[in-house]
Amino acid sequence: MCEAHHLQRVPPGPLRNRPRRPYLDKGPGGARCRRRTCYPPHMNAATRNRLILGVVLAVAGAVLAYNMFFALTPPRHADHDHAIAKLDAGGFLWIEAAGGARRNLVGRPDKVLVLHWFDPQAVNLSEESAAATFAARHSDDSMIDFLFIAQAPSWEGVKATATGAGIPEDLLYLDENSKTGDLCGVRRIPETLIFDPAGFLAHQARGPVNWTSPSIMAQINRAKDGVDEIH
Give the model confidence (pLDDT) of 185-197 as tens digits: 888 899 999 999 9
| Amino acid 229: pLDDT | 75
Which numeric CATH code is attached to 94-224? 3.40.30.10
List residues bridging with 8 in a β-sheet: 22
What pLDDT digit, counting tens, does each position of 71-83 carry? 444 554 444 456 6
Q: Is 41 helix (H, G, I), strand (E, B) or coil?
A: coil
Domain ranges of the chain: 15-70, 94-224
pLDDT confidence of 52, banded at 50, 70, 90?
confident
Residue 152 near residue 184 (C-beta atoms within 8 A): no
SS3 track for 81-141: CCCCCECCCCCCCEEEECCCCEEECCCCCCCEEEEEEECCCCCCCHHHHHHHHHHHHCCCC
Asked whether residue 166 carries a pLDDT value surpassing 90, the answer given is yes
Pairing state between β 201-206 and 112-118: unpaired
Q: Which of 65-79, 114-128, 175-189, 210-224 has the lowest mean pLDDT?
A: 65-79
Asked whether residue 173 carries a pLDDT value surpassing 90, the answer given is yes
Q: Please state the rounded mean pLDDT for residues 145-160.
A: 96
pLDDT confidence of 4, banded at 50, 70, 90?
very low
Q: Please state the rounded mean pLDDT for residues 202-213.
A: 93
Asked whether residue 34 carries a pLDDT value surpassing 70, the answer given is no
Torsional sign, CA 209, 215, 220, 222: negative
| Amino acid 7: pLDDT | 46
Percent of all residues in the chain with a pLDDT value above 90, rounded to a whole number: 53
Residue 109 near residue 195 (C-beta atoms within 8 A): yes
Asked whether residue 56 carries a pLDDT value surpassing 80, the answer given is no
Segment (H or E) for 204:
strand 201-206
d(C-alpha 46, C-alpha 17), whole Å: 33
d(C-alpha 40, C-alpha 225), whole Å: 69
What pLDDT digit, counting tens, does each position of 82-140 carry? 668 889 888 889 999 998 999 999 999 999 999 999 999 999 999 999 999 999 999 99
Asked whether residue 200 carries a pLDDT value surpassing 60, the answer given is yes
Asked whether residue 35 carries a pLDDT value surpassing 70, the answer given is no
Pairing state between β 191-195 and 112-118: antiparallel
Between 25 and 115, the higher pLDDT residue: 115
pLDDT confidence of 18, banded at 50, 70, 90?
low
Count how many residues are written for the chain: 231
Torsional sign, CA 179, 181, 187, 191: negative
How much is the pTM?
A: 0.68
